Amino acid sequence: MPRKRRTTLTLPVDALGQAERIARARHVNLSVVVAEALASGLRIETARERSAQVVRDYQEAFRGFAAEEMMILDGIIPEMRKH
Amino acid sequence: MIDPAWGPFLFDTSAESWLARTPLTAAQEWFRQYAERFPVHISVVTVMERTRGYALLWRRESGERRRQIEAARIAYLRTLGQVWPVDAAIAIVAGEIMAVVAQPPTPAKRSHKFTESRQERLTRWRFDAMIAATALVMQMPLVHNNAGDFEAIRSAVEIDPARFPGFGPLELVRCGGLL
């Protein structure tokens, strides 16, 4: 069971009304619905941050290489050499 | 356009770097959306080819350039998501591919700066067979930039499905076809 803390939030009226409707339909209290929505939103934000980091790392991994060097990095040619 | 949500996909070695280097905004956005949903799936063969490439470049350089190559290699190692090993099933399927298409379907690479020997071409072809076998066994579409080789494998699997029971067809997506 995760630890909980009471707090006060200011929320958009429409979203709050929708959350209250969901809570009534599911016979749970409003905190459960808000906590689920928050967790879902945080998962999306975490995924965005992770994605941005992956893209940054990939760009760093392949930045500054000439086309021939990329062919070596891609395993297309083993190395440069004279005929 | 291929929806990133249809993944995960297996990325061939050159497809992986294409996504990282493409100047196309749509491709960059596709990659960003894909990475939000899935790790980048690659074969252990790609890690081997890539690591060999960084090592070769590092060995022929010195000073600041060498330091840059090492930083790039470390950045690459940080990106590693899902790396698929060559297990027994993949080895069996790869062996079948290598038997059905025994010789590389496209010629060795040649330019004024380099030439690829027959042995090197054969090795590269066999690596491609292992990557295609990984896609078949893991039942993932293969994103690639090497139609000549992978289309030959796809055809071979279609022509002789009895040698690949339960593994076909090989789904291929060209990098440009993602958009």
Tell me whether B17 touches chain A (CB under 8 Å). Answer: yes
pLDDT at B62 over 90: yes
Confidence of residue A59 (pLDDT cuts 50, 70, 90): very high
Whole-angstrom distance, CA of residue A53 vs CA of residue B100: 41
Domains, chain B, in order of start with CATH, read 4-42+83-178 (3.40.50)
pLDDT at A4 over 60: yes
Q: What is the complex's ipTM, to 2 decimals?
A: 0.86
| Assigned domain for A83 exists | no
Cβ <8 Å between B113 and A70: no
Give residue A68's domain range. Answer: 13-73
| Assigned domain for A39 exists | yes
Mean pLDDT of chain B, nearest integer: 94
| Assigned domain for A7 exists | no
Residue range A5-56, pLDDT digits in tens: 999 999 999 999 999 999 999 999 999 999 999 999 999 999 999 999 999 9
Confidence of residue B91 (pLDDT cuts 50, 70, 90): very high
Confidence at residue B63, expressed as pLDDT on a 0 to 100 scale: 96
Residue range B135-165, pLDDT digits in tens: 999 999 999 999 999 999 999 999 999 999 9
Cβ <8 Å between B115 and A55: no
Q: Which of B16, B36, B54 sits opposite A51 (nearest CB)?
A: B36
Confidence at residue A73, expressed as pLDDT on a 0 to 100 scale: 94
Q: Quote the pTM value.
A: 0.87
| Assigned domain for A58 exists | yes
Residue range B99-142, pLDDT digits in tens: 999 999 988 887 777 788 888 899 999 999 999 999 999 999 99
Domain count, chain A: 1
| Assigned domain for A82 exists | no
Whole-angstrom distance, CA of residue B41 vs CA of residue B36: 13
Q: How far is B20 from chain A (nearest CA, A)?
A: 5
| Assigned domain for A24 exists | yes
Q: SS3 string of chain A?
A: CCCCCCCCCCCCHHHHHHHHHHHHHHCCCHHHHHHHHHHHHHHHHHHHHHHHHHHHHHHHHHCCCCHHHHHHHCCCCCCCCCC
Cβ <8 Å between A74 and B17: yes
Tell me whether B64 touches chain A (CB under 8 Å). Answer: no
Residues of A in Cβ contact (< 8 Å) with B46? 75
Cβ <8 Å between B31 and A76: no
Tell me whether B47 touches chain A (CB under 8 Å). Answer: no
pLDDT at A83 over 80: no
Mean pLDDT, residues B2-27 taken together: 95
**In contact, A20 and A30? CB cutoff 8 Å:** yes
Q: Which residues contact B130 (CB under 8 A, 6 or more apart)?
A: B43, B45, B86, B90, B94
Tell me whether B71 touches chain A (CB under 8 Å). Answer: yes
| Assigned domain for A8 exists | no
Confidence at residue A80, expressed as pLDDT on a 0 to 100 scale: 64
| Assigned domain for A19 exists | yes
Task: Note which residues in 131-160 of chain B have CB less than 8 A from chain A.
Answer: none
pLDDT at B74 over 80: yes
**In contact, B173 and B19? CB cutoff 8 Å:** no
Confidence of residue A82 (pLDDT cuts 50, 70, 90): very low
